[in-house]
């Protein structure tokens, strides 16, 4: 699940609108992570998943617009994790890396002709594994990703520019299998 702490700025027809805000709806997603344990303490991983769709909601001066647009995006992350110690079957870890988010499509809503640029940003991660067997583990982790997007569109006949910093926090639950 991803939850967004959105901040940003907006302008309509070139004039800043201080009270115009955009919020993104929380979303559930399915992901696949491939990793390699480089040493007993270090691992690297690559994460991708099924592209989710989020709704951009107008807030403040944009509130009358309700749902501005629905956006389908893909995200991939490349990171490294440090496993400093274990407590029996529990093995905590911390990590970080770089995530890249690309916009696949936008549709519906009150903002037409929405164009959003792809972007990349760093992330930090914290989690733990519970080793069920030597090969099978359950895990939970949380990632904080810093992102920023610039978008252009129209509300009615007026051109709109929006800079959005969604800065998602995602929590992942899953199973891990070692080959």
pLDDT confidence band for 163 (50 / 70 / 90): confident
Q: Find the angle CA(46)-CA(99)-CA(78) to the nearest 5 degrees.
A: 25
> What per-residue confidence (pLDDT) applies to 173?
95
pLDDT confidence band for 88 (50 / 70 / 90): very high
- pTM comes to 0.88
Interval 103-112: pLDDT, tens = 999 998 888 8
> What per-residue confidence (pLDDT) applies to 150?
87
Ramachandran region of residue 163, left (φ > 0), alpha (ψ -120 to 50) or beta? beta
- Measured CA to CA, the distance from residue 37 to residue 106 in angstroms comes to 38
């Amino acid at each position: 699940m991803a939850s967004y702490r959105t901040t940003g700025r907006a302008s309509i027809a070139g004039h800043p609108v201080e009270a115009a805000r955009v919020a993104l709806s929380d979303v559930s997603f399915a992901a696949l992570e491939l990793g390699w344990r480089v040493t007993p303490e270090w691992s690297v991983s690559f994460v991708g998943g099924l592209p989710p769709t989020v709704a951009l909601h107008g807030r403040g001066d944009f509130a009358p617009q309700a749902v501005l647009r629905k956006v389908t995006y893909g995200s991939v992350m490349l990171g490294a994790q440090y496993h400093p110690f274990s407590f029996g079957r529990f093995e905590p870890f911390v990590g970080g890396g770089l995530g890249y988010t690309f916009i696949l499509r936008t549709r519906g809503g009150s903002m037409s002709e929405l164009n959003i640029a792809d972007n990349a940003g760093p992330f930090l991660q914290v989690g733990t594994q519970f080793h069920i067997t030597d090969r099978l583990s359950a895990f939970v982790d949380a990632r904080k990703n810093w992102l920023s997007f610039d978008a252009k569109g129209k509300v009615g006949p007026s051109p709109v520019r929006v800079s959005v910093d969604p800065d998602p926090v995602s929590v992942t639950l899953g199973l891990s299998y070692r080959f």
